[in-house]
A and B are shown apart, each in its own frame.
Chain A
């Protein structure tokens, strides 16, 4: 059994066989660590990561459809939750989870106008007005088109 500690100092005891899906944890286990602090993963996100790894630990053929259903539901989260998961999955090197997250996040951006994306992601514009004008000119072709969506979720 391996003990994981979240940034909120909560501890979780999980079987090694489940945790080796994380490349990062696998390396630490190979170096004989049994207590692994994860200062960049909060409790809420860690619980979700553990849930994911537990489901994916048993990859027999019969479970495949089951796992696909789980993955579909697992992605039904708020954008902030998905970001937290991307950070954690990147830090923990869980490539199968990252492969799920990329298209899910892309889907949320897909048809939105720039202003909506800026608001959802809280992206601050750091261009000078002149720079901004140039970029909009260069990419004029990308802003033409019919699918415009301004919702914020």
Chain B
């Protein structure tokens, strides 16, 4: 049993500087952090100034909680707390749509990280998405944005967004269109990491050289018939990691990435690339070190010439009959499908 009173030290934890108490509380759900306020004045102050609000998964939503949210945010605005992170997940049955008002308060508090999630539902052959408060597009202090379950529609008036400090954008189970991607490419000049998972609406994904800091892109497509994506065209001179996955053989038939000269790691799953495409890829992308190719039906003969390639993994490409490698620095080569298996390194 834990010794509960150390006569010489007494209440040590409350003597820690408030920023440290904040860091500890930042790992708690807002509910548990708020409970601490009844302990003593130090803890009441620590909760009221806590710049991390994680409202996690809310099943127990009620009208009163609307008031709680208003009060919690209003108090932080009043005391000019610089908000670090705000997370809120609402289940479909929460019967409450995201309030524009809260987003505006968070923006006034210079919010750095925002995670909003609403559960999507499949109803009569369609996904039902939540509606996104458009105030979000004016969050110019935001560094990290995660959205799940939303229909991403630009503001009606001029359709521009101001997310100029955004470094990471994570979108999952969203409906979005080319207009949004274009606006993102124009505004998010500091974007480093883009993740689009299980998205719908886009028929083409195009990034046109306006995101110089972009280092990582992760695209995961929905299954057909929901996935509409046919074209991927990326120009990003500092892109190091690119991953494109379909969960099943999809419709992507055009992939243009040869302008991404800094690319080091490439992962393709269920993307039908041809023998020629592959040969040209390695001719253009001299910095590729790691290449994973999973479930590609179209590939018959794999010819790779690369000085820098270190790891190559080719899995379940069932029409592959020959592999020709001129790769002096290859240390790991795994290739297996129905017909044969090769494991080197």
Contact = CB atoms under 8 A, between A and B. Distances in A.
Interface of A: 78-80, 83-84, 86-87, 90, 98, 102-103, 105-107, 109-111, 114, 117-127, 132, 135-136, 138-139, 141-145, 152-153
B14 interface: yes
Interface stretch (B2-10, B203-211, B266-274): B2-10
Nearest to A79: B2
Contact of B1 (A126, A132, A153): A153
B41 interface: yes
Interface in B97-141: none
A142 B34 contact: yes
A141 B37 contact: no
Number of chain B interface residues as a range: 35 or more
Given A102-B23, A110-B28, A135-B38, 7 more contacts: A102-B20, A103-B27, A105-B24, A106-B27, A106-B28, A142-B37, A152-B2
B36 interface: yes
Interface in B14-69: 14, 16-17, 20, 23-32, 34-41, 43-44, 60, 64-65, 68
A121 B11 contact: yes
A118 B34 contact: no
B95 interface: no
Contacts of B1: 152-153
Given A106-B25, A141-B65, A124 B35 contact: no
B28 A139 contact: no
B12 interface: yes
A144 B68 CA distance: 13
A102 B16 CA distance: 12
Interface in B207-253: none
6 contacts: A80-B9, A80-B12, A90-B20, A123-B13, A124-B10, A142-B32
Interface of B: 1-6, 9-14, 16-17, 20, 23-32, 34-41, 43-44, 60, 64-65, 68, 71
Nearest to B26: A102
Contacts of A117: 36, 39
Contacts of B9: 80, 83, 122
A14 to B, nearest CB: 25
B70 to A, nearest CB: 12
B10 A122 contact: yes
Contact of B16 (A86, A111, A127, A139): A86
A83 B13 contact: yes
A135 B36 contact: no
B12 to A, nearest CB: 5
A80 B39 contact: no
A87 B3 contact: no
B16 A120 contact: no
Contacts, number: 111
Contacts of A143: 35
B4 A114 contact: no
A139 B12 contact: no
Nearest to B22: A102
B38 A114 contact: yes
A136 B25 contact: no
A109 B41 CA distance: 18
A153 B2 contact: yes
B12 A87 contact: yes
A28 B5 CA distance: 36
A152 B1 CA distance: 7
Given A102-B23, A121-B11, A141-B65, A126 B40 contact: yes
Nearest to B31: A142
Contacts of B25: 106
A47 B29 CA distance: 34
Contacts of A111: 32
B11 A135 contact: no
A109 B28 contact: yes
B122 to A, nearest CB: 29
Kindly name the residue among B3, B5, B31, B38 whose own CB sees the greatest number of chain A CB atoms within 10 A: B38
B28 A123 contact: no
A123 B11 contact: yes
A121 B13 contact: yes
A126 B42 CA distance: 9
A90 B24 contact: no
A139 B65 contact: no
B2 A123 contact: no
A142 B29 CA distance: 10
Closest 4 CB pairs of A and B: A106-B27, A142-B34, A153-B2, A102-B23
